[in-house]
């Protein structure tokens, strides 16, 4: 495999509710016309089918050990070598992995987004560009409450309890420290159009250089 046909991998990280998904989607939109793929780290939460529902709910989902990082690295490496993968599907309402998978073909640009994608050196080494989305804690908790209640069927009490018990402390212990690995820090997430424009331009430049 040569550099000219290897996918470009962009890592987008930050705390829960920071705007990672919005940044990823805006980059995607700016690169319209390129073959692209967005992978969410949440897809690779551990398979917990053998656990009871109460045990699943008690898991700390903001800890690095909550993810099947080995599988993520294996599949991202395969995509990087232009090999298709069977990507897992995570069921948020059941707190475990679905029995279904999704067939995914490699693309020219792959955006990997998630709260802990910069925590593992093996994963970082697969990325061409590493982005940290830095957003105020108050804004992030409001966004998380809205998302989890509307999209994931959670109650307000459960969202607040989880935030205070695990989300906030894990952010300061594991997520925020990975900021030092980022090539670019983007304040205020999807509202920072200048940073998004710069990212899209950089990717276009890399793609253009490879075509020469």
Report the percentage of the chain scoring pLDDT > 70: 98
Domain ranges of the chain: 3-202
Roughly how many angstroms between the first and final C-alpha of the chain, as a whole number? 17
Q: What residues in the chain have per-residue pLDDT under 70?
A: 1-4, 212
Report the percentage of the chain scoring pLDDT > 90: 69
| The CATH number, out of the four listed (3.40.50.300, 3.40.630.40, 1.20.140.10, 3.60.15.10), of the domain defined by the range 3-202 | 3.40.50.300
* pLDDT tens by residue, 96-146: 999 999 999 999 999 999 999 999 999 999 999 999 999 888 888 898 899
Separation CA 182–CA 148 (nearest Å): 27
HSE at residue 61, side-chain half, CA atoms within 13 A, is 22
| Single pTM value for the model | 0.89
């Amino acid at each position: 495999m040569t550099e000219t046909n290897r996918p470009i991998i962009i890592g987008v990280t930050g705390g829960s509710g920071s705007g990672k998904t919005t940044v990823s989607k805006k980059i995607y939109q700016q690169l319209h016309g390129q073959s692209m793929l967005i992978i969410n780290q949440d897809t690779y939460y551990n398979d917990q089918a053998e656990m009871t529902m109460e045990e699943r709910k008690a898991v700390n989902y903001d800890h690095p050990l909550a993810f099947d990082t080995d599988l993520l690295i294996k599949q991202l490496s395969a995509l990087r070598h232009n090999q298709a993968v069977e990507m897992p599907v995570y069921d948020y309402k059941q707190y475990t992995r679905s029995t279904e998978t999704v067939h995914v073909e490699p693309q020219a640009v792959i955006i990997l987004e998630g709260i802990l994608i910069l925590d593992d050196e093996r994963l970082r080494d697969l990325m061409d560009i590493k982005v940290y989305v830095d957003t105020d804690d108050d804004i992030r908790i409001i966004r998380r409450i809205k998302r989890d209640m509307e999209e994931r069927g959670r109650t307000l009490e459960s969202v607040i309890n989880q935030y205070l018990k695990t989300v906030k402390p894990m952010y300061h212990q594991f997520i925020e420290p990975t900021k030092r690995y980022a090539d670019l820090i983007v304040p205020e997430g999807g509202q920072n159009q200048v940073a998004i424009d710069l990212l899209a331009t950089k990717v276009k430049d890399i793609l253009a250089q490879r075509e020469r």
